[in-house]
Structure 1
């Protein structure tokens, strides 16, 4: 995440990558075994994702809109990017929401990666209705992205706690915000957020995936919340891909 325009550009140029965890702390892959990161064939990490079935990873459409499956790798079970822990799994195929129009601010910012082999980690359940989307509900964001705007990407998995914000607050922050497609989270004063490199990663509440890191204006700026794809709005389409 970065300015919304920059996030969209990041998808077109993987080396520039997309949205972040600012104001967070190190997280344990043992506690969050379903969080993964995406690399190209050279090992460059550009986005995150979530294991949602034994051979399926859910991520943001803007992460994959210009990616070929044969150039895509999913790193599972690796907390520290400098190690060889876990495993690197090739992508077998990539499915991007047909309603995604090349800009995360337009909604439908979700995609499913089918892996070339099963991974032995628990899948994170998907939000199936709007019960969990209550203003001020505390959520967890995770990723290996930048720890400050225009900074360096983290070598370690990072986590941060952020409250969901009201649709009124989100609309005031972003004229493109649509409650039917998105949810936003963060603090009015800023300071805690996702950032470049975190796009596609999870926003979870009580062990349920409620959002996918999508876009924002900068990283942890006052009054500029992180915006996430509202998983419950697309759960039928997502689950349809999990059965393939």
Structure 2
């Protein structure tokens, strides 16, 4: 009898071990990791269909139509009870755990796509102003909803760490350095904040997660070469009067394509506290700058050593307008070549210690790359 009990106990223990191993085996755990592949010019990280990015198609897990502005968090995010902690109101769903209350419906009504509204919605070119040495630095507060194509990125701890530019209803253009050093787990926790104006995130109009990520394969963290990436969001954003895409420039091999043109830099910048740390402003900042020639930029003591034919530089006549904090990295430099067509010509890349000149990835040099990964499923 005792022998039978010992044998049964051993069998139970053995079954428990086998079951545990089956859950922990590489084959089973791999199903919850994104697929990573490479092409000649990109590293592709694909979360879709591997336990992270659900097939959205306008429905929840329960098949119910939901407010398209807020996509439910994936099942293994830090707040796994989000599906249960929500309340339906006449204006949509209210999500707990930091997801903001949706705006009034009239603020996010979809707009009919016409030639005038497909890309580049924004204000008239802001006038030059005498500014103090504040940070976007050196900028002024933007008007709410004036720049509908800039987005912010946050980590799972709610900290803002980069900006980006909406270039389609599913894709965000930004710097590779924003995401290149993050682990796959950290990437799974990144949220794209669309329509944000305030850094307290209380007015975010839509939230999305990463479904797929294209990082330029030749990105060099030491030289900032090929500092470009594209995020594919897990559901299309709703285009409206306050959420729209920026236009893209025509392809060009001329590094001085836009030299001496006025441009606008955007970001949440920052002021300087007593301890010397640069902190974000409470709301989006804008500053008027000029596109600098690559020849002149090569002589700059900070950015000059990183200048290539695929970069561009900006400068400020007053010397006090520049991108500064990590939240500004990846954000846009835009010009207005014609009314109603704000065009992203640069991606904020390198600005050492809030220097007054800044190295930007030149978007027109990467149009073929962008076109390829704008359409790749």
TM-score (ref. length: structure 2): 0.55
Query: CA separation in 1, counterparts of 2:152 and 2:210?
Result: 12
Higher fraction of strand: 1
Contact 1:142/1:157 (<8 A) preserved: yes
Name which structure has the greater RCO, CA cutoff 8 Å, separation 6+: 1
Shift of 1:220: 4.0
- Matched ranges for 1:1-244 at <5 A: 21-67=136-182, 68=184, 69-82=187-200, 83-103=202-222, 105-120=223-238, 121-130=243-252, 133-148=257-272, 150-173=277-300, 174-187=303-316, 190-196=319-325, 197-206=327-336, 207-221=342-356, 225-244=357-376
Tell which deviates more after alignment, 150-159 or 206-215. 150-159
Greater CA deviation, 138-147 or 72-81? Answer: 138-147
**Equivalent pair of 2:249/2:344 in contact (CA under 8 Å):** yes
Larger CA Rg, structure 1 vs 2 = 2
Write the distance in 1 (CA, Å) between the matches of 2:258 and 2:208: 36
Structure 1 stretch 70-79 or stretch 188-197: which is displaced more?
188-197
C-alpha distance in 1, partners of 2:318/2:295? 16
Offset of residue 169 of structure 1:
1.4
What SS is found at the alignment partner of 1:164?
A: strand
User: How many residues of Structure 1 are paired with residues of Structure 2 in the alignment?
Assistant: 221
User: Is this contact kept in 2: 1:170–1:177, CA < 8 A?
Assistant: no
For structure 1, list consecutive stretches of 5 or more residues without a partner in the other structure: 1-19
Task: Report if aligned partners of 2:151, 2:166 keep a CA contact under 8 Å in 1.
Answer: yes
TM-score normalized with structure 1 length? 0.84
Q: CA deviation at 1:123?
A: 1.5
CA displacement 1:42-88 (0-9 Å, x = unmatched): 21100100001111001100001023331211000111122143122
In 1, Cα distance between equivalents of 2:317 and 2:293: 11
Is the 8 Å Cα contact of residues 192 and 220 (structure 1) preserved in structure 2? no
For the 8 Å contact 2:224–2:350, the answer to whether it is kept is no
Contact 1:214/1:229 (CA < 8 Å) preserved in 2? yes
SS in 2 for 1:176: helix
SS in 2 for 1:37: strand
CA contact (8 A) 2:289 2:316 kept: yes
Please provide the CA RMSD for this pair: 1.9
Could you tell me how far apart the structure 1 residues matched to 2:168 and 2:144 are?
17
1:188–1:161 CA distance, 2 compared to 1 (3 A): closer
